Amino acid sequence: MSTEPLRVLESRRREKNGAKAKFLRLVGRRSRRTMLLLGFLLFTCLLIPREPDFEVITLREGFPAKRDVIAPFQFYLLKDRALYHAEQASAARKVPPVYSVDPAVAPQVHAALDSLLGDGSKHAGSARSRLEGLGLSAATTRVLLGPDGSRVVVLAQRIAEQAYAAGLMAEIESGRLETDAGAASVQRDGMRVPVAWGALYDLDSVREMAWDEGARAFPNRPEAARALQELIAAVVTPNLRYEASTTERVRTESRNAVEPYDGLVRKDEKIIGSHEIATALHIRKLESLRAWNDRARPKDAWRQDLLSLLARLALISFLIAGFLRHLKLNHPRVYGDVNLLSLLATLTALVMGVGWLVVSQFRGYEMLIPIAVLSLSAALLFGQALAFAATLVASLLIGVVFGLGLPFLTGSALAGIAAISTARGVRRRRDFYRPMVVIAAAYAFAIIAMGLVDGGQGIVLLRRGIWGVVAGFASVLAVTLLLPLLESLFSVTTDITLLELADLNRPILRRLMLEAPGTYHHSLVVGSLSEAGAAAIGGNPLVARVGAYYHDIGKIEKAEYYVENQSSARNRHEKLSPTMSCLIIEAHVREGAEIARKERLPRAVIDAILEHHGTTLMTFFYHKAQSADPAVEERDFRYPGPKPRSKETAVLMLADAVEAAARSLTEPTPSRIRGVVTRILDARVEDGQLDESPITFEDLAKVRESFIPILTALFHARVDYPGTPASERGRRPDSRRVLGEKSRLKIDHS
517/548 same-domain check = yes
- Note the pLDDT of residue 717: 53
645/705 same-domain check = yes
Contact (CB, 8 A) for 469 and 443: yes
Residue 560, in any domain of the structure:
yes
Residue 721, in any domain of the structure:
no
556/679 same-domain check = yes
116/168 same-domain check = yes
Q: Is the pLDDT of residue 429 over 50?
A: yes
- Identify the DSSP state of 631: T
Distance CA 11, CA 34 (A): 35
**Residue 698, Cβ density class (10 Å: 0-12 exposed, 13-18 middle, ≥19 buried):** exposed
Peptide bond just before 49 cis, omega within 30 deg: no
Residue 19, in any domain of the structure:
no
Question: What are the pLDDT digits (tens) for 276-294?
Answer: 888 888 888 888 887 777 6
179/110 same-domain check = yes
229/317 same-domain check = no
370/440 same-domain check = yes
- Report the SS3 class of residue 211: helix
Percent of the chain residues past pLDDT 90, beyond the cut: 19
- Quote the pTM value: 0.56
Distance CA 494, CA 481 (A): 13
Residue 48, in any domain of the structure:
no
CATH number at residue 589: 1.10.3210
190/236 same-domain check = yes
Residues contacting residue 223 through CB under 8 Å, at least 6 positions apart: 139, 143
- Note the pLDDT of residue 610: 92
- Final residue belonging to a domain, choices 242, 269, 297: 297
- Identify the DSSP state of 122: G
- C-alpha angle 592-593-599 in degrees, rounded to nearest 5: 90
Residue 13, in any domain of the structure:
no
Mean pLDDT, residues 153-166 taken together: 90
Question: What are the pLDDT digits (tens) for 691-715?
Answer: 889 899 999 999 999 999 999 888 7
127 band by pLDDT with thresholds 50, 70 and 90: low
Distance CA 244, CA 611 (A): 64
- Identify the DSSP state of 257: T
**Count of domains observed in the chain:** 4
292/188 same-domain check = no
Question: What are the pLDDT digits (tens) for 26-47?
Answer: 556 678 888 988 888 888 888 8
Going by C-alpha positions, the residue among 223, 221, 215, 108 that lies closest to residue 160 is: 108
635/710 same-domain check = yes
287/379 same-domain check = no
559/700 same-domain check = yes
Mean pLDDT, residues 524-548 taken together: 92
Residue 625, in any domain of the structure:
yes
Residue 50, in any domain of the structure:
no
Q: Which domain holds residue 245?
A: 93-253
Distance CA 112, CA 103 (A): 15
Mean pLDDT, residues 120-132 taken together: 60
Residue 3, in any domain of the structure:
no
